[in-house]
Amino acid sequence: MIASIARWLDSRTRAAKFARSIMNHVFPDHWSFMLGEIALYAFVILVITGTFMALFFDGSSADVVYHGSYAPLVGVHMSSAYQSVLHLSFDVPAGLVIRQMHHWAADIFLGAIAAHLLRIYFTAAYRKPRELNWMIGLTLLLLAIANGFLGYSICDDLLSGAGLRIGYSILLSVPVIGPWLTFLAFGGTIPVSATIPRLFAMHIFLFPALIATLIGAHLALIWRQMHTNYPGKGRNDRVIVGSRLWPSYTLKSIGLFLFVFAVVAALGSFVQIDPVWIYGPFKADAILPGAQPDWYLGWIEGAMRLFPSVNTHFGKWLIPEVFFPGFLFPAVVFILLYAFPFIDKLISLDFRAHNVLRMPWEQPFNTALGCAVLAFLSVLFVAGGDDVIAVAAGAPLAWMRELLRYLAFAAPLLTGVVAYAICETIRRRRSRAIPAQPAEPFERSEVNVEMR
């Protein structure tokens, strides 16, 4: 029966040969090659849960009075957007668990992207011919951060309102074009009624569409260029060893999707995230301490907290202090990241294409640099939550912030030096054990395939 349908289809579409070549596509097996896949599946969950929520969310800041089932807010004036989030959380069946899954999936999406980025960096997978895909990946990271911020901002609760105001101030602080940028993104001087609809449209149409398109391009390039491989027996820049797309890789991947879904569903069911009813509706005259962004913006928040308060004057112009840690610093970080494949060429003087990865200890300088940057970002990340940590640990905040300022310099230096020393030791030990093999010259990206 199935066979005859397949024959019928094939005689009309001539798809069998094509399908077979797809199914025989080879993916190397290593756990670290599936980190990006976790992100992909988190994105799938985001789209599914987001579609459900879009049925109930009302992206408008019209003033309404709440009459739902959360007692402490009955009779309170709020925006229609915030009210619809409360309605979704308390009165729509399964609404709260879907909302929490969406938020957890977003946090995990970014975590998986970050882990994937680290893997690519520390194994030098960004080298020729994959520079382009590295840049697509970075763009995906940027879009994901932005969309996460938009997502929790449109709830219009007191916490996200505080975040929105910070985002607004950062954009406004950009010299010359700041005011135009803020008018474009926020539709006026916040709080203004145009903001929520604008952010909502960006959150559910513009950014997801861009992310989905770029994920397509990202995967297509991986397909076209074949996957990289770790160095090992029988592997070189021309030979790829791994398992076929069908059946082994597909089954593995479906299994992973189910696991990702299970973890997100468990978090959504058992751990509260973003309890907007506790924060209350956004009111311009109310404020709360212990306000942090979601984790993926914590490093920028931390930079703003640690940066000294200096206002720079250029003639009659003033550059406000937030511009440096809030805009310039992340911009420089991303520009350096985009440029890194080319910076790496200058460091290693290696302009050839590679399909076999470089182990972290084979590139001590890059590894040390990566560890140092990671340490720096971690200090900033901690600083982003320093008030909460101070209260939780009972330590005085002013004192902690001073310590973090010193750590921001000391930690990267220390981590870098230690990482370098460790890499050198491993490298020396290995090169004594196996004499280095001369690398084959390799210029094109076509490779032979060896299947298991």
Partner 1 sequence: MQIYLQQCAKCHGPTGEGISAAVTIAGPNLWAEDDPGRVMTALEVGPSHMPRFEYILSVAQMHAVSDYVAHTIAQIHLNGGDLSRGGELFRRNCAACHRTAVRGGGLVFVGTNAPSLTGKSAALIAGAIRWGPGPMPRFPPSVLSDHQVASIVDYIRYVQQPASPGGSALNWYGPVAEGFVAWVGVLLMIGIVMWIEKGGKG
Looking at the Cβ atoms of 82 and 368, the one nearer to partner 1 is 82
Map residues 296-315 to x or -, x wherever contact with partner 1 holds by CB under 8 A.
Answer: --x-----------------
> Smallest distance, Å, CB 33 to partner 1?
9
Beta strands 448-451 and 239-244 are: parallel
> Smallest distance, Å, CB 71 to partner 1?
6
Residue 70, CA distances (Å) to 11, 145, 221, 286 in order? 61, 31, 49, 20
Contact call for residue 36 and partner 1 (CB under 8 A): no
Nearest residue to 381 via CA among 304, 276, 279, 282: 304
Looking at the Cβ atoms of 161 and 416, the one nearer to partner 1 is 161
Contact call for residue 191 and partner 1 (CB under 8 A): no
Contact call for residue 269 and partner 1 (CB under 8 A): yes
- Alpha-carbon radius of gyration of the chain: 25
Q: What span, in angstroms and rounded, lies between the C-alpha atoms of 445 and 173?
A: 45
> Smallest distance, Å, CB 300 to partner 1?
13
Among positions 58, 156, 294, 344, the unique one binding partner 1 when judged by CB under 8 A: 294
Contact call for residue 283 and partner 1 (CB under 8 A): yes
For partner 1, which stretch binds (CB under 8 A), given 8-16, 310-318, 382-390, 428-436? 382-390
Q: What span, in angstroms and rounded, lies between the C-alpha atoms of 289 and 273?
A: 18
Among positions 234, 289, 315, 435, the unique one binding partner 1 when judged by CB under 8 A: 289
> Smallest distance, Å, CB 40 to partner 1?
12
Looking at the Cβ atoms of 111 and 187, the one nearer to partner 1 is 111
Q: Which helix (H) or strand (E) holds 79?
A: strand 77-79
Contact call for residue 293 and partner 1 (CB under 8 A): yes
Rounding to the nearest 10 degrees, give the CA dihedral for residues 435, 436, 438, 440: 130
Contact call for residue 100 and partner 1 (CB under 8 A): yes
Answer for the pair 426, 368: CB distance below 8 angstroms, yes or no. Answer: no
Contact call for residue 111 and partner 1 (CB under 8 A): yes
Q: What span, in angstroms and rounded, lies between the C-alpha atoms of 161 and 406?
A: 31
Q: What span, in angstroms and rounded, lies between the C-alpha atoms of 143 and 326?
A: 17
Answer for the pair 99, 53: CB distance below 8 angstroms, yes or no. Answer: yes
> Smallest distance, Å, CB 73 to partner 1?
6
Q: Show Cβ contacts of residue 141 under 8 Å, excluding neighbours closer than 6 positions.
A: 110, 113, 114, 117
> Which positions from 127 through 156 interact with partner 1, judged by CB under 8 A?
none
For partner 1, which stretch binds (CB under 8 A), given 139-147, 258-266, 361-369, 411-419? 258-266
Contact call for residue 254 and partner 1 (CB under 8 A): no
> Smallest distance, Å, CB 385 to partner 1?
4
Among positions 89, 133, 195, 378, the unique one binding partner 1 when judged by CB under 8 A: 89
Q: What span, in angstroms and rounded, lies between the C-alpha atoms of 195 and 180?
A: 14
Give the distance between the most distant pair of CA atoms in the chain.
81
Looking at the Cβ atoms of 22 and 262, the one nearer to partner 1 is 262
CA–CA–CA angle 148, 152, 156 (5° rounding):
150
Looking at the Cβ atoms of 34 and 411, the one nearer to partner 1 is 34
Enter the DSSP assignment of 205: I
> Smallest distance, Å, CB 30 to partner 1?
6
- How long, in residues, is the chain? 452
> Both tokens of residue 21?
């070549």
> Smallest distance, Å, CB 8 to partner 1?
36
Nearest residue to 244 via CA among 1, 26, 16: 26
Task: Indicate the burial class of 434 (C-beta count within 10 angstroms; 0-12, 13-18, 19 or more).
Answer: exposed
Q: Show Cβ contacts of residue 102 under 8 Å, excluding neighbours closer than 6 positions.
A: 45, 46, 49, 50, 53, 151, 268
Contact call for residue 288 and partner 1 (CB under 8 A): yes
Q: Which residue has the tokens 């040390």?
A: 368
Among positions 26, 81, 140, 159, the unique one binding partner 1 when judged by CB under 8 A: 159
> Smallest distance, Å, CB 146 to partner 1?
17
> Which positions from 385 through 424 interact with partner 1, judged by CB under 8 A?
385, 387-392, 394, 396-398
Contact call for residue 94 and partner 1 (CB under 8 A): no
Residues that bind partner 1 (CB under 8 A): 29-31, 34-35, 37-38, 71-76, 89-90, 96-97, 100, 104, 107-108, 111-112, 115, 158-159, 252, 255-256, 259-260, 263-264, 267, 269-275, 278-280, 283, 285-295, 298, 384-385, 387-392, 394, 396-398
